[in-house]
Structure 1
């Protein structure tokens, strides 16, 4: 990634949500909305415009537009969408792997000594250069810190470019990450403050899985928290007692899969001993496909590009993807495909990196020719996960 993209590029997405639009999967997704402009809807393409998507991602790789300026603290996340997106499109060779690896590793927080591991701070990865504030006169990092979401994105990028994750300093990362787990099994994203919900349980599980080391979490505690988030309708809410939500349901099911508590094709292999009811979960997921062919995140909400992944990946994991209307879903996604490349949240809007990436993963689930297959539990290209 060019110096302009990783150190000086800008990112400011103005929110495009109106008051009657959907609250998205999480606060991050709200930040990843497109600029407010909406143009008259052009005739949708009938094909996946791979060349346009490559140009879009290549442009973002070289220099991020000024609209992204306010998202500078999420630079690693944006880099993940770009680099992993290029891999899905079969263009990983367009990335300078050595430069990217060096840049990613420069964001890891490292303890001063072994005693520092007892101070409660999380030694993962910062989200951007501006997050690496210097310590104050007392030696404390008070302004910002590394966090679970950025750590997931950092490891995902390294995995995608083929970097050997066994070479990174993971001991302090995992020891300090375990301190983020709460008594109820949930995780805080940072060592002080922050929300505690399924998003960060998933991040912790994915981090341990990619590092092939589960010392960073208590899996049994995490499993109990996940099951407490399941609703009466079969879906999962972000916290116990909350409404079932597409993103939360993905985090729950993918985490259980990564931790080894559920296996492949849960519907076919279902037994009375299963910790979740896959039939009830299947019913909830299938009800999320709306009349326009797209998927909604919650009941009575509009279809949104990203839920073709969040819900679609859940269905893939439990063996129920074959039951969706793939023709209608593909038509909806093509309506969200931009003439500039990339995907928008809704038809007729400008594209953004968040919805573009999950548009690519959605088309991968649909087995679009020329796209890398998807590892649904990690949300990454399958070949990258396999180390090939």
Structure 2
């Protein structure tokens, strides 16, 4: 029998999350033409899952019961009659938004309108032992990673890859300078990818303990944003001649955006990837970008093709995604979300399912 978590509504994750056991495992005979039955071995969690079960979720309502989360890794147990990309036994990762790839192709970027169709929002996600996914809702897992580390890649690693390589002609590499903010999943993934690509990375954090971890992953310099409110200027000072950063990964939203503008070079890119900062912070006008000559690029995860690109990069460079010190079991998911909400974690919180 299968086990899973479901959302029963949008009254907050503590109240809406419910654990179910003795759930029937989908039968291979019932699979649709392009469906794949996956035995999930691991998952990980994201900030978006704290917002989805709330009445103010920016992506809109859900249709409960709904299995949350989008990050997951496992093995193929059965395939539908028309599936051509996978075979039984293949190691796979969940892709965030199969409908976008089905409708517009594997190269199609995700827009906010796609959010309602994503895993854990418009269709059942990965916090379960067994799941049926669309063929376009999967990619092959890196051969070099175990299930726990591979399961962190669906949302954060694709976002980081898109931020650093998604704008043609502006890809990072040797000679590039990249600024990452904090120690959440996207920021740490961007740090690891940029370092592997030969770029120089400056990171921000609020504690020396986390600063040591960032340096161990390759950050050349670390700036404490709590002790220096003008951390954008301080970070900029580390770039050659104080020119500013080629790429800034902006995760906080309005709280840190002015400092991102202070840090970026003319014609550099500020990629908007999240809103984990203080939601009560005064909004920064778009016109602010005019005074800094920067490109402001909002993104949501990546295309399916970009997901496959970052998988190949991880295998080629033998990168092991950093994860939090605490790994939770499937039945402990509420404890995992508490740790995420309280920002006690480093990088990604993983869930062991097997």
Q: TM over 0.5, yes or no? A: no
Task: Give the structure with the larger helix fraction.
Answer: 1
Report the TM-score when normalising by structure 1: 0.29
TM-score by length of 2: 0.31
